[in-house]
Amino acid sequence: MTDSFTDQPPLTDIIRTTRLKYFGHIARANPSTDHSRALRASVAPLPRDWNRRAGRPRYTWLRTVESDLAPFNIGLATAYHRAQNRQAWSKLVGTATSTSGQAT
């Protein structure tokens, strides 16, 4: 869907697309790089005895990615594994960012 006046997609769709493409890029990165190791550690479940400090929960970049994928019932771990296939991930990003729900 595009804005009728400018014939451009909404800015939120552009930002969401960039965010999901970047997630896929990091997920496919060399496993020995720091950013890939950090993503794998963040996607892994927390230990059972771990507790977050009291206070307002942080709204992190990964939580934003997770909320982008929530309408498709895809969690971070599933998204991480799906991102390994570049073509399938590209199709998912196109579907997740189209406001009509159709793949682009």
**Mean pLDDT, each 10-residue run in order, the chain (104 residues):** 72 89 92 88 79 79 90 89 91 75 43
Q: Whole-model pTM?
A: 0.73
What type of residue is 18?
T
**Residue at token pair 């970049």:** 61
Rg (CA), the chain: 16
C-alpha 63 chain-centroid distance: 8
Nearest to 71 by CA among 16, 26, 25, 6: 16
